[in-house]
Amino acid sequence: MTHNQFLELLVSPKTGEPLKVADNGLSLTAPDGTVYPVLDSGIVDMVHPRELFEDDAREQYLYDQAYQRYDRGVSWVFETLNHSDEAATREFMIGLMGLKPGQTVLEVGAGTGKDSALIIDQISPGGTAVLSDLSPNMLRLATQKLQPKDVDVHFFLGNGSYLPFADGTFDSVFHFGGINTFSERKKAFAELTRVVKVGGKVVIGDESMAPWLRKEPTYEILWKANPLFRAEIPYEDLPATVENFKLHYIFGNCFYVMEYTVAAKAPEIDVELPIPGKDFIDNWRIRAEGSSK
């Protein structure tokens, strides 16, 4: 996919309407007049809302400050967690998508591109990687670090809760490490799922230490230092069209990573199906009466 074809693929992150690409290719304009500029770095600024909610604005600011020390810091954190092998664990996560050469993949919250490099490897040759983040400085570093061969890579600044793509655009979507702090997490899960084709794979992970460890002294030190480690797995934020859901704990059981495929519709519960025999009816009436006491 060429840069111009990528620009044509983008839609309004606010309404989903098509955008008009300027003749010079330096901006896109929505029907409501909102202009999304293409920055000097080639990164398209698709952030919505233009004035971010408080948590998103704070995270954008913090990562913009931390981008130079980020890679060093995050590797140290994983080392403290059961001396985890960061490279192997990241490979495991990317492996969950079952990517193939030539596929089109979106990564949200790509940061400095640590997982993006693995995604690019898996879809080579002929694939397209679309990499996004809310922090300009983090994403700019990713553009400098990644040296893709045989894969088209496109970058945009974006809020994971408002993705500028039509439904079913991607073979797979990946996000790791930021969703706990997104201002609109349920909306983000809906978006990360919406833009994947039916049958495509979604892989999402973040901090959440296994409940059976939370009272262990060293784990207590950890979540007191960073309360995000005590975040619950956000099952309730998942949309109804999730199929083949699996959960894994990684990095010393302090992070979760979930994988699922996208279904065309939610599973059906048929409450009209005739009950196969009076004996079942009697049995269930007794249960129902028992549970209502």
Ligand X SMILES: C[S@@+](CC[C@H](N)C(=O)[O-])C[C@H]1O[C@@H](n2cnc3c(N)ncnc32)[C@H](O)[C@@H]1O
Residue closer to ligand X (CB basis): 69 or 287: 69
Residue closer to ligand X (CB basis): 128 or 132: 132
User: Does residue 254 contact residue 229 with C-beta atoms inside 8 Å?
Assistant: yes
Residue 49 in tokens = 């809302």
Residue 161 in tokens = 């809760």
Minimum distance of ligand X from residue 283's CB (angstroms): 50
Helix runs in 199-246, H state only: 217-225
The amino acid present at 233, given as its one-letter code, is I
Distance, CA of 36 to CA of 45 (rounded, Å)? 6
Residue closer to ligand X (CB basis): 152 or 206: 206
Distance, CA of 217 to CA of 237 (rounded, Å)? 30
Minimum distance of ligand X from residue 161's CB (angstroms): 6
Minimum distance of ligand X from residue 112's CB (angstroms): 6
Residue closer to ligand X (CB basis): 38 or 188: 188
- Residue among 53, 152, 167, 163 nearest 175 (CA): 163
Residue closer to ligand X (CB basis): 124 or 181: 181
Residue 247 in tokens = 């959960």
Size of the chain, expressed as the number of residues it contains: 293
Cis peptide leading into residue 49 (ω within 30°): yes
Minimum distance of ligand X from residue 123's CB (angstroms): 17
What residues make contact with ligand X under the rule CB under 6 A?
Answer: 56, 59, 63, 74, 108-111, 114-115, 133-135, 138, 159-161, 176-178, 182
Minimum distance of ligand X from residue 63's CB (angstroms): 4
The residue whose two tokens read 């201002």 is 183
